[in-house]
Structure 1
Amino acid sequence: MRLLPATADPTALDRAAAYPADGPVAALSSEKIREELDANQFRREWIWLAEDEDGQVLARALWWGRADSERPIALDCLQVRSTVADPVAVATRLLDAGHAAFGTRPLYNLSLPPDWSTQSELTQAVSWRREASSRTGLSREIQRLRYEWTPAAGLPETSGRLTFREGSDEEFLEAFVRVSAGSLDQATLDELRKKDARQLAEEDMRFYLDCPGERSWWRLTELPDGTPAGLAVPSATPYNRNVGYLGVVPEQRGKGLIDEILAEITRFHAAEGAERITATTDTTNIPMAAAFDRAGYEVSEIRMVLEAPRSA
């Protein structure tokens, strides 16, 4: 078996794009792959193939990054031909080759329908992907709910219990610090085990400043008497408007204020003409998921994130 990137020869990219994907996990079309290449979110060197001695494609792996990324951020597509006897072995070797070339192990985002665990063919397809990912070092798993809002859902109501205002970077940094305390977000909990809340807040701010959304969208939230309540950070992805980041300070939790903040973000994006607003939350973050449900967001997929264990 030969492992090669799409830079290996002039026709390798064509073979990768034309790969006749089979199996129950949704595959990227040739048109979508070339669209992502044109956007510089796929790169030829981030597309890897496994081929037999006759040049038949046995598997492909496509990694994704932002247009300005130096290295890939996530594995976006992993497929092995259904006729391969040991898909785990082939996928493991393919991922190892890519990771060695990148000098890093990007996480794997596996998008699945909400009812995937009830479909035997899908559970088998997920099983070999999990095992291959684990063998190549991506042994930590988080499942996230991907939500979508569309105008058909209507705008969530707001009671006016909060006010929203612009704020300085220092004020937002303090708000990020405060809302991280007692968070149910798994990534936040993991990060707080190895760094202090201010360091994490600085990283979170840099992340959202680098997203396609605008800094001018951000709002601090307060009670009518000026008491801090939390923050709203509407954002965007390369594809859609996005909820981004929102939170309530610990002393104001349990009062339904998260609904007010989510409603503000939703109404802001809708006023800007958004036809779709996306959001994600961990399956274990039950209060946040319930807030999305109440606001008219619907689960569009389960996103299984497989990544390298986070060092303490």
Structure 2
Amino acid sequence: MTALTIRPLQPGETDLFLSYPFPRQPELWESQRDYVALLAAKAYRPEHTWVAIRDGVVVARACWWTGPEDKRPYSLDWLEAEPGPGQVELGTALLRKAHETMRNDEGRKPDYHLFLPPGWRDDAMVRVAAEARLQTARNVDLALFVERYSYRWSAEQDGLPDRSDRLEFRPADDAQMLVVLRQVLDGSLDAHDQRSVAEHGLDRAAELQLEGLYWFPSPRDWWQLAYTGSGELVGVIIPARNYDMPTIGYIGVVPSQRGHGYGAELLAEMAWRLNDHAPGEAVGADTDFSNVPMVKAFARTGFRITEEHLVLTDTAAGK
């Protein structure tokens, strides 16, 4: 069999990437992505786009997403290989070669974000395509970390939710925000929050969370703390905008206020605010399957589940 050539694209080789000739799965995330548009937006870059070529034919390809201002790849979110008995082997070979240089800011292989339609396990064709990708990822020491729901909401399609009459919202400086983030992270049901606390402790995890929130290009003055009418702290809202759309950047209820339905009220407030800032645009959001209170809050607020989002992380950092 002719040897594979595996390499990143060079500038001007967009047509080579687009020449991938094999049948695609329309329900999968990468089949819905516009590579040319994302390349123009610097979300994809030639050096973060890899192909496997045999006899002049692209038989596998992968893209790592990057924020427009970021220098290192953030996540793998496009992975395809020629369907058939050699699919996993091809994808594995491509990722192994790419991972020699494709590392994130922490020196780890970037996470793999696999977006699938809701209920994908019940669709045989989608399940086969997904399992091939998951096995490919496992072969290069990426393991399932968390499963999440991806949501969309828009005022036009879903209607504005009821707005809370028992909460007040106030601005906060970074010092105040840091104190509240530390409280919110204590007992958080979010898997990424839990990992950060386990690895760094509450104080450092709060600092890292604050630093991460500055990644959003939306205005800092959108960040607010929520209080009851009597002045008791309830939580934090970070309505935001990423490089694609308005989004629920961060939401949290402090431990003493959990179990009182405030999560849905915080979400509703963010929906109203984001609709004011970007009328007519859809708002995106995510939460873990296991974060049952937030899953219920999204449902109560009218957010629709649009995808199931699997996150696979590096289990062999440094290899």
Specify whether residues 261 and 310 from structure 1 end up closer, same or farther in structure 2 by C-alpha distance, changes over 3 A only: farther
Shift in Å at residue 303 of structure 1? 0.8
Q: Which residue of 2 aligns with 1:146?
A: 150
SS in 1 for 2:72: coil
SS in 2 for 1:126: helix
TM-score normalised by the chain length of structure 2 = 0.91
Distance 1:295 1:31 in 2: 28
Q: Which residue of 1 aligns with 2:72?
A: 71
Specify whether residues 184 and 28 from structure 1 end up closer, same or farther in structure 2 by C-alpha distance, changes over 3 A only: closer
| Most deviating of 19-28 and 295-304 | 19-28
Distance 1:200 1:229 in 2: 20
Does 1:4 find its partner at 2:7? yes
Shift in Å at residue 26 of structure 1? 2.8
SS in 2 for 1:100: coil
Distance 2:139 2:203 in 1: 35
SS in 1 for 2:236: strand
8 Å contact 1:5–1:49 — kept in the other structure?
yes
Specify whether residues 21 and 141 from structure 1 end up closer, same or farther in structure 2 by C-alpha distance, changes over 3 A only: farther
Does 1:185 find its partner at 2:185? no
| Most deviating of 125-134 and 286-295 | 125-134
Q: Which residue of 2 aligns with 1:20?
A: 21
8 Å contact 1:18–1:30 — kept in the other structure?
no
Q: Which residue of 2 aligns with 1:305?
A: 311
Shift in Å at residue 166 of structure 1? 0.5
| Most deviating of 201-210 and 14-23 | 14-23
8 Å contact 2:43–2:67 — kept in the other structure?
yes
Which runs of 5 or more residues in structure 2 are unaligned? none
Which runs of 5 or more residues in structure 1 are unaligned? none
Distance 1:23 1:33 in 2: 15
Specify whether residues 3 and 235 from structure 1 end up closer, same or farther in structure 2 by C-alpha distance, changes over 3 A only: same
Distance 2:249 2:34 in 1: 25
SS in 1 for 2:85: coil
In the TM superposition, 1:86-105 aligns within 5 A as 86-103=86-103, 104-105=108-109
Shift in Å at residue 34 of structure 1? 1.4
Shift in Å at residue 142 of structure 1? 1.4
8 Å contact 1:208–1:235 — kept in the other structure?
no
Q: How many matched pairs? A: 307
Q: After TM superposition, what 4+ stretches of structure 1 lie above 6 angstroms from structure 2?
A: none
Does 1:208 find its partner at 2:217? no
Residue in structure 2 matching 1:240, options 245, 251, 263:
245
| Most deviating of 131-140 and 24-33 | 24-33
TM-score normalised by the chain length of structure 1 = 0.93
Distance 2:253 2:32 in 1: 43
Report the residue type matching 2:257 in the other structure: Q
8 Å contact 1:137–1:308 — kept in the other structure?
yes
Q: Percent identity?
A: 31
- Deviations 1:79-107, CA, capped at 9 Å, x for gaps: 0112x432111111101111112244111
8 Å contact 2:28–2:117 — kept in the other structure?
no
| Most deviating of 279-288 and 22-31 | 22-31
Report the residue type matching 1:302 in the other structure: E
Distance 1:2 1:12 in 2: 15
